[in-house]
Amino acid sequence: MPDSHAIAHEDVEAANAACTANSAGAEHPSYLRHHFNSTEQQADASNFAMWLFLLTEVMFFGGLFTAYLIYRNWYYPAFVSGSHQLNVVWGATNTLVLIFSSFTMAMAVWCAETRRRRGLVLCLALTFILGLGFLGIKAIEYSEKIEKHHVPGLHYSLSSFLDPAHDEAASVAGDNPLLLDMARKTEIYFSLYFLMTGMHALHMIIGIGILGFMIFRARAGAYTAGHVTFVENFGLYWHFIDIIWIYLFALLYLISRH
């Protein structure tokens, strides 16, 4: 059984004990760590720290976005033709899936704050499913790229760009054939495409893993006894991934479409 230093354990008993201790007039709930004056201060500090972490992520993805913009400016025809190989329908569907998952995650935070255990589990489960749905659609898109040999490397094929008349996606977009030199630069487009969407997907996979853990804990009532920091901070992370995708969708799929 957790003693008065149960803060570190943070298990369900501790959270429940905190609740009873609180109503019995004890000084503070057991999840309040001793170096904080109040739970409010503790919540503010962890919120601040989470934002600092997210800002390092902004810089990380920002570097990739900057590289993309520079190369797009340099090799504009290659980037336009490369972009035409992406499927806007899948991209838009994934945007909707992620927006809905952000909504369910926001609702999960609300459920935790208002102590609705079943609602919280439901919202987290929906977020989990939508996250998997996103990755499923991403896998379909990746397999299309693999089939057409648009994965940078030894087996990369230039035929969609040298001979666009015989490529469905390119002819629908009305692409003109690129010179060999420029056609080769489409490999840079796809390198950045896989790097950026791959890093984004990695963040999704990590998020889905944490979601699974949270569903397990939420069922036991861990987040509906007053201590909601973990759910809140995970929400920030999940919404951040959504924002990255909003920009990826605009930059990779949309801006070269017309």
Partner 1 sequence: MSGQIEHAHTIVGPRVYTTILFALLLGTALTVWASFIDLGFWNPIIALVIATTKAVLVVLFFMHVKYSTKLTKLTVCAGIFTFLILISLTLADYFSRAWGSW
Residue in 15, 29, 214, 230 binding partner 1, rule: CB under 8 A: 29
Q: Which stretch binds partner 1 (CB under 8 A): 1-9, 103-111, 142-150, 198-206?
A: 103-111
Among residues 255, 246, 253, the alpha carbon closest in space to that of 85 is found at 253
Residue closer to partner 1, measured from CB, 44 or 168: 44
Q: Are 252 and 196 in contact (CB under 8 A)?
A: yes
Write the DSSP symbol of residue 165: G
Q: Is 179 in the site for partner 1 (CB under 8 A)?
A: no
Q: Which helix (H) or strand (E) holds 153?
A: none
> What count of Cα atoms within 13 Å lies in the side-chain half-sphere of residue 144?
13
Residue closer to partner 1, measured from CB, 63 or 157: 63
Q: Are 36 and 49 in contact (CB under 8 A)?
A: no
**How big is the chain by its Cα radius of gyration, in Å?**
23
Q: Is 96 in the site for partner 1 (CB under 8 A)?
A: yes
The helix/strand count (H/E) of the chain reads as 10, 0
Q: Is 239 in the site for partner 1 (CB under 8 A)?
A: yes
211's tokens: 């979601």
Site residues for partner 1, 31-60, by CB under 8 A, read 38-40, 43-44, 47-48, 51-52, 55, 58-59
Q: Is 100 in the site for partner 1 (CB under 8 A)?
A: yes
Distance (Å, whole) CA 100 – CA 96: 6
Q: Is 229 in the site for partner 1 (CB under 8 A)?
A: no
Q: Are 224 and 116 in contact (CB under 8 A)?
A: yes
Residue closer to partner 1, measured from CB, 60 or 216: 60
- Residues at the site binding partner 1, with contacts judged by CB under 8 A: 22, 29, 38-40, 43-44, 47-48, 51-52, 55, 58-59, 62, 65-66, 69-70, 73-74, 88, 92, 95-96, 99-100, 102-103, 105-107, 109-110, 113-115, 226, 232, 235-236, 239-240, 242-243, 246-247, 249-251, 253-255, 257-258
